C-alpha cells in the first residue's frame, strides 16, 4: 500500500479555503480547485516508489490485476479528485465512447495539435463522472422540461427572451431544446450580452428560483452560458448525496466541496460560462436533447458497512465507509486496484494512518484492512 502525495490544481474557479480546511492547513490565498489522485499523466500522484503512472507502467498486471488489465488496458482507468468550486465551472458535456473515438481520430487525421485551444478531443475515451458532496453542493444537471423553462424565462419579462419562450412552448421536446440552445449560442455577441444584462437585473429583483442564475451572471457577465444554464435543472446536494453525469448530459458545478471520480479522459465540449473555445456544431452533435430528472444518488448500504454509489459504467466504482468508534476492522482486499481517501476523522489503512484529505493506492491483491473512526471513500473498478 502506497501513501499518495497529490497535486492541487489552482484553476481560477476554485475555492480559496475549502481544500485547505479539509487538510487542516492554512489557506494559501490562491484558488485551490482540484486535488488529483491517480495516474493521469497531467498530474500523477507520487508514491515512495515513484510517480504512480510510472509504477503502474512498470508492472501493470501486478498493480492493476489481470482482470482490470484485460478489460481496460495497462492503465488505471479512473481519476479520483477532491473538487472545491468557489465559482461556477464551465457549462459542458462529454462524448460517449464511440463519439470520442470518432472525434479523436478526425482531429488526428486533420493534424490539429493536441494542445491547440480549439482542439475538442484530447484522447479517444469517454468521460462519465460522479460527484459526491462533502458539503452542501450546488450544480446544474440535464435539461428541465421545456414548459418549466418557458415559465422561468417568461417570469423575467425580458423582451428578447420571448422567442425562446415561444419555441419552448410550441415545439416537441427535442426540437425545442435543440433550437433554443442553438439560438442562444449562435446569437450576436453584443445583443446576447445586452440580454444577459437584462436577465441578470430581473433575476436579482425576483430572487427565489431565479437567484442562482443571478449569481452565475455575477461571475460571467454577458456570457450566453447564463441563458443556456436556465435550460438546466438546478440541483442542491446535501453531504453524502451524489450526481452521475453520463454522456451528452449538459452540466456545471456551481459551489461546494465534493469527491469526484471519472473515467480517465480530458474530453470536454463547452456550452458557455468560459472564455475557452466553444465549438457549437460539435457540441450540438454531442448533446442529448431530452429533459431528464437529475437523479440524485444516495449510497446503497450493505451488511459489510460499505455504502456503494451505483452507476451504469465499469471504469470506476465509488463507495463510502462511515466508521464508528468500536467498529471491527474492514478487510478491503480486492483483485482490483484501489485508492482510499479519508475525508473525516482518522483511519488506519494497513500500516498507514490517513487523516482528512490523505489517500493511499492499494495494488490489486494487496492486503487492505481499515479501522478507526472517520469517513473513508474507496475508489476501484468493476472488472
Residues annotated as catalytic (active site), given as ranges: 270
295 and 377 Cβ atoms separated by less than 8 Å: no
Task: Please give the Cα distance from 341 to 378 (Å, whole number).
Answer: 7
d(CA 311, CA 243): 10
The backbone torsions φ and ψ at residue 375, rounded to the nearest 5 degrees and listed phi first, read: -120, 130
C-alpha span between 18 and 225 (Å, rounded): 26
Neighbours of 367 (CB within 10 A): 11
Q: Which H or E run includes 330?
A: strand 330-331
Among candidates 370, 359, 364, which has minimal Cα distance to 305? 370
Element (H, E) at 153: helix 146-154
Which among 124, 93, 133 has a CA at the least distance from the CA of 255? 133
Which residue's C-alpha cell is 473538487? 83
Query: Three cell numbers at 301?
Result: 448500504
Sign of CA dihedral 118, 223, 149, 90: positive
Q: Per the structure block, which three cell numbers stand in for 172? A: 416537441
Q: Is residue 87 within 8 Å of 264, Cβ to Cβ?
A: no
Task: Give the max Cα distance, the chain.
Answer: 65
CA–CA dist 261, 341 (Å, integer)? 12
Amino acid at each position: 500500500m502506497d501513501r499518495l502525495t497529490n497535486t492541487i490544481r489552482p484553476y481560477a474557479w476554485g475555492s480559496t479555503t475549502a481544500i485547505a480546511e479539509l487538510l487542516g492547513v492554512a489557506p494559501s490565498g490562491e484558488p485551490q480547485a482540484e486535488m488529483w489522485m491517480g495516474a493521469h499523466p497531467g498530474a500523477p500522484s507520487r508514491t515512495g516508489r515513484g510517480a504512480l503512472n510510472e509504477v503502474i507502467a512498470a508492472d501493470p498486471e501486478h498493480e492493476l490485476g489481470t482482470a482490470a488489465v484485460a478489460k481496460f488496458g495497462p492503465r488505471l482507468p479512473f481519476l479520483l479528485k477532491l473538487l472545491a468550486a468557489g465559482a461556477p465551472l464551465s457549462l459542458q458535456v462529454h462524448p460517449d465512447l464511440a463519439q470520442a473515438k470518432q472525434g479523436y481520430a478526425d482531429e488526428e487525421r486533420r493534424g490539429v495539435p493536441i494542445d491547440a485551444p480549439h482542439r475538442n478531443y484530447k484522447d479517444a475515451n469517454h468521460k462519465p463522472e460522479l460527484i459526491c458532496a462533502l458539503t452542501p453542493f450546488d450544480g446544474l444537471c440535464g435539461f428541465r422540461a421545456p414548459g418549466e423553462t418557458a415559465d422561468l424565462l417568461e417570469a423575467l419579462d425580458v423582451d428578447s427572451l420571448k422567442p425562446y419562450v415561444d419555441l419552448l412552448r410550441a415545439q416537441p421536446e427535442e426540437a425545442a431544446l435543440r433550437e433554443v440552445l442553438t439560438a442562444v449560442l449562435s446569437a450576436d455577441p453584443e445583443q446576447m450580452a445586452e440580454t444577459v444584462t437584462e436577465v441578470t437585473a430581473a433575476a436579482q429583483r425576483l430572487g427565489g428560483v431565479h437567484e442562482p442564475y443571478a449569481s452565475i451572471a455575477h461571475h460571467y457577465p454577458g456570457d450566453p452560458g447564463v441563458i443556456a444554464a436556465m435550460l438546466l435543472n438546478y440541483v442542491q446536494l446535501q453531504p453524502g448525496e451524489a450526481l452521475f453525469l453520463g454522456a451528452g448530459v449538459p452540466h456545471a458545478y456551481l459551489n461546494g466541496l465534493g469527491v469526484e471520480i471519472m473515467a480517465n479522459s480530458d474530453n470536454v465540449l463547452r456550452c458557455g460560462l468560459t472564455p475557452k473555445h466553444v465549438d457549437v456544431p460539435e457540441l450540438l452533435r454531442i448533446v442529448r436533447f431530452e429533459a431528464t430528472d437529475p437523479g440524485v444518488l444516495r449510497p446503497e448500504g450493505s451488511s459489510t458497512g460499505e455504502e456503494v454509489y451505483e452507476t451504469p459504467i465499469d471504469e470506476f466504482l465509488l463507495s463510502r465507509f462511515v466508521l464508528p468508534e468500536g467498529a471491527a476492522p474492514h478487510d478491503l482486499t480486492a483483485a482490483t486496484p484501489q485508492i482510499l481517501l479519508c475525508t473525516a476523522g482518522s483511519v488506519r489503512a494497513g500500516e498507514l494512518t490517513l487523516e482528512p484529505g490523505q489517500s493511499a493506492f492499494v495494488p490489486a491483491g494487496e492486503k487492505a484492512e481499515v479501522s478507526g473512526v472517520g469517513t473513508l471513500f474507496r475508489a476501484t473498478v468493476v472488472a
